[in-house]
Structure 1
């Protein structure tokens, strides 16, 4: 069964770019001719290749001088799983895969139940996984303020991702106390911002 992958750039000069529904094989590098061309001087011309083999995705480093990391671990050849991260040069990419014929999009991320904290069902994920659009018509000052907020959130989440340890055998990701503190602080800040938006006077109390 043919698989497609979606790659989201989490870190690097191309941060925020999304390469949707790419059919394998996929090469990543600096030069034209790559299905994913990145603006990163530390990436080789043809740095890494993702291909399908017997229903599995395999990532192969193409003898790049700076190497490739999957989930923070240096590797030259590795089975790639949905949700893995690939680090090449200064760029980090999030991998989302989907087999042909499956319902939904490879872009979709699992959502948490706001009440119980458990993963929602697939149907609920499909219903609520569309990202809200950014506000339109903002002035330069408002755009700068929003950018500052998003940068703060991004840095906090990056600290968590960088410190995470992936246990592939058990299907778990471990984070240390410092990363957990970052996560709690980010959640607290976002909660405060939401309250201020809903009740502008709350920021004065």
Structure 2
């Protein structure tokens, strides 16, 4: 079965929110017009389009789209392959956990997505 990305907001104004998709590419940020997963605008350091994730087979490529920057596991990142349970920090206070799930696991647990 194909792998499916799951983003879980661990810290910040959107704590507890989750996002999952079958899309090949998706964007995260404050813009409801341009992003697939829209974050609260309570943190002005989160850009309208903060980062994108592109699926390449079973790999997921993180691409920073913000002048404000992003870190993955505490290290500044512009473009890198994401690993299961990586922590992506955007803005001043938002931390998002990236997880990779087997799509069968997600179907069995409707709390995902």
Shorter chain as denominator, the TM-score bin is 0.7 to 0.9
User: Which structure is richer in relative contact order (CA contacts within 8 A, separation 6 or more)?
Assistant: 2
Matched, 1:14 2:17: no
2:53 alignment counterpart: 50
Aligned residue among 64, 67, 74 for 2:76 = 74
**Greater fraction strand:** 2
For the residues of structure 2 that align with 1:104 and 1:38, how far apart are their CA atoms? 25
- Alpha-carbon distance, 1:99 to partner: 4.5
Offset of residue 73 of structure 1 = 0.6
Secondary structure (helix, strand or coil) at the match of 1:104 reads helix
Q: Give the CA deviation at 1:98.
A: 2.5
> Counterpart in 2 of 1:199?
none
Structure 2 stretches of 5 or more lacking a match? none
CA contact (8 A) 1:3 1:52 kept: no
Aligned 8 A contact 1:2 1:55 in 2: yes
Change (3 A) 1:2 1:130: closer
Larger Rg: 1
- 2:28 aligns with 28
Q: Aligned residue for 1:104? A: 105
Greater share of residues in helix: 1
Write out aligned runs for 1:1-205 (5 A). 2-19=2-19, 21-24=20-23, 25-32=25-32, 33-39=34-40, 40-62=43-65, 64-89=66-91, 90-100=93-103, 103-105=104-106
CA separation in 2, counterparts of 1:91 and 1:22?
20
Q: Between Structure 1 and Structure 2, how many residues are aligned?
A: 106
With the length of structure 1 as denominator, give the TM-score of the two structures: 0.46
